[in-house]
Structure 1
């Protein structure tokens, strides 16, 4: 070998001695990874990169290097602009968020008053200043958050723009106006349409309204994501409605946070998943889920019951009640649960409404990917906001052995990118964008709890977003000054077959 003629290569970052789990589901392999110009420049298993000159060298000995996690179900719509450091997500290895879920989105929105429930989960009226989707894209890129942002358009948001009241079906002219706004959003890179048909301001929308609204999706290569009309006793009927909408629109369906909610529904996950599998025979269908047995949203009178614990997380008229169980508040006020819930409105709550076996079965199913469904504006948020992804790695994979680490990572990276059409993301592959996370597989765990939820995860060593080192775990100022996130426009139609 003529050492004098060897080409000296340069890169921004060289990560050496790492165990690479590439997001495809394949077995881990020892490798060095060179990052340059925001992308993965080279992956080598033979030590050949050790001669490269790098501005920064990171030793990954004993650590796993994987794609950055993709949080497919978030309500970070306004927070990526207002709080662009996005520490709750960055600290758990998330490099991309999908916003606009459950029928609620920050754009396109033109409020006539305060945001209707549950759009108030995204913030107060002042947070909504994006009358077109294009203006939202511009605002995200101007804020340059620390993570990437992809977006769905919310059905309830569109309704609030065009309707004088939301307790009825939309007229033909209102649907046409909504379709025009959706088409503008799709032209500027929206992933598709989301609905939250269980919520009071969308439940009176008949299936026909959603069928019509979903029609622009196919030509744009979009998807249909839905918070089902019911996650309780009528879940199978609600799933049938979702499948019908997807078939009519000729687009993939994603069922948001699939669950069997309510004591009377416990044990039905096998039946629910069988229905999903039957639908997969004829159309592309998948789901996301979060790794907890408790849900969280606004305090919904339809969900008030004495069969589960309901913790109030905030209340506008009674802020001191945040952190207390609804039953405790009712006893203190000497009223029944329903009256207490009415007095607390508007309010938020955590519902301990699921069973471990159902969560395990749905989380481990091949159709499921991981989404946190965290609520960043909640003063006492569900711990999933800070802990969902490390919980999958630590509790479910390492401790409970629900699935191997390779499967866990695929559910949070490669499969998620494929399902939502995020090209050149979700895999550790040469030429792909360098969204990466380095973590300790022996110590990674969620630290956030219901009583103390704003706690960063343990075991996350480093996070790169578009090649920029954005988080260094274990340091006093873990989030670096580098914010390299960007808006990710839809670039590829979702797959014809759901894995």
Structure 2
């Protein structure tokens, strides 16, 4: 029988623990030593270097953001206030086919790759160099990163407006292999975006061959989330079967008015497929998405709010309709003049959002883009919005389920061993919050307001955020894949 330690580096007293497994909450103290959880239980007789009183508060695993574009932000904005302030302790980077490596200094990056780009002199030519930079200058959050297929296309192909040839596929395959050896957790695609629109299913399968032996992840912003969403799901699942690897459907949605309600079809199909292969999905808790400024009419159907524009920075925070009227041009022409940049698109139905959120296996990801002064409010508000609005106010699911969707479930699906649940021996990534007051303050008008009700955030044992203030701690770690260990089994 293991004896409970009597002294800790950090002791969280009198809290109510929600451990990230969906188990009922319970009252307990949590003791932390050397960056890991050393004890959970009645520790009233114990001492500690630092003690936090969590009376009346929930003590939960730090949240894991399953879908981010924080690849460069974890270096250039290493304090990561927009994530740490809402209880996020780990980010999954390299999504939608876009990654910070490998790149060349002499290349011009097309949108949306340039949304996360650093100056040419700061680019990383190998995935290993990128992860080494993160280790040398840690951020406030842990980082698990994927290599992006669109990035691979941009670095190997002179013409992106066609399928890759055999030589280019071989070159991309070699880069995937290098990323896997460096510790990438998988490969992502973004076949919705121009740099990868012409990539065939077969190209993706062949480029992804190095994933198979390692059971690494295939994560995708699918080719279509509107009229052809079912075809896109079929393609995604086929890639997973051909490579015999786990699949993650990124930010699952059904968009445009003609598709409202189609989650009633997509979710049962996903559930049935889960019986036969390893499939996961995530979503964000908003009816608007955000991406590069596009001119296709399907994306311009609803309200469009400009988040950032390189040629017209003065238009950030304004509606595209108003800009078009002011300029005396059509909506698509105004969008063209505003490129390159990013925008917020109101394309989804609240009923679909709730249905997908409530789906048992749905993880939570922000999909925030950390650039400009008017980002989508999901960058700052995703996780408290799930806790406050959807769990507490709407009653979509119990708080234990909400926490699980943002921690234990995500750690399981992405293979983040030793994280995501409060368990002795696990890394001490912890958030302390007030269940009665936690809420997102960020909105479309003021999108960069920190969440309310987040008392304290601890990353690998270090208090990083407390009472609305960053402590200055940058205790994040680089999380790498464990070879041959699948995130989960069926």
TM-score by length of 1: 0.95
Which residue, 70, 75, 87 being the options, matches 2:64? 70
1:277 aligns with: 271
Contact 1:146 1:484 in 2 (8 A): yes
CA distance in 2, matches of 1:408, 1:281: 23
CA distance in 2, matches of 1:112, 1:291: 39
Q: CA deviation at 1:386?
A: 0.3
After superposition, the C-alpha distances for 1:62-101 in whole angstroms (9 at most, x for unaligned) are 0000000000100000110111100000000000000000
Aligned residue for 1:483, secondary structure, equals coil
2:76 aligns with: 82
Aligned residue for 1:288, secondary structure, equals strand
Check 1:8–1:227 CA distance in 2 against 1; reply closer, same or farther (3 A cut).
closer
Mapped pair 1:434 → 2:425: no
CA distance in 1, matches of 2:121, 2:347: 31
Contact 1:114 1:125 in 2 (8 A): no
1:160 aligns with: 154
Q: CA deviation at 1:128?
A: 5.2
Mapped pair 1:12 → 2:6: no
Aligned residue for 1:50, secondary structure, equals coil
1:40 aligns with: 37
Aligned residue for 2:265, secondary structure, equals helix
TM-score by length of 2: 0.97
Check 1:463–1:262 CA distance in 2 against 1; reply closer, same or farther (3 A cut).
same
Matched ranges for 1:203-282 at <5 A: 203-282=197-276
Mapped pair 1:494 → 2:490: no
CA distance in 2, matches of 1:134, 1:306: 39
Contact 1:115 1:124 in 2 (8 A): no
CA distance in 2, matches of 1:206, 1:260: 22
Aligned residue for 1:456, secondary structure, equals coil
Check 1:295–1:439 CA distance in 2 against 1; reply closer, same or farther (3 A cut).
same
CA distance in 2, matches of 1:305, 1:105: 24
CA distance in 2, matches of 1:458, 1:296: 23
Q: CA deviation at 1:303?
A: 4.6
Q: CA deviation at 1:278?
A: 2.1
Matched ranges for 1:445-456 at <5 A: 445-456=439-450
CA distance in 1, matches of 2:287, 2:420: 27
Aligned residue for 1:254, secondary structure, equals strand
Check 1:203–1:149 CA distance in 2 against 1; reply closer, same or farther (3 A cut).
same
Q: CA deviation at 1:7?
A: 9.3
Q: CA deviation at 1:378?
A: 3.1
Runs of 5+ consecutive residues of structure 1 not aligned to the other structure = 1-5
CA distance in 2, matches of 1:306, 1:107: 31
Check 1:127–1:350 CA distance in 2 against 1; reply closer, same or farther (3 A cut).
farther
CA distance in 2, matches of 1:7, 1:421: 28
Q: CA deviation at 1:114?
A: 2.7
After superposition, the C-alpha distances for 1:355-405 in whole angstroms (9 at most, x for unaligned) are 110000001101210000000013310000000000000000000000000
Aligned residue for 1:461, secondary structure, equals strand
Which residue, 24, 29, 32 being the options, matches 1:27? 24
2:419 aligns with: 425
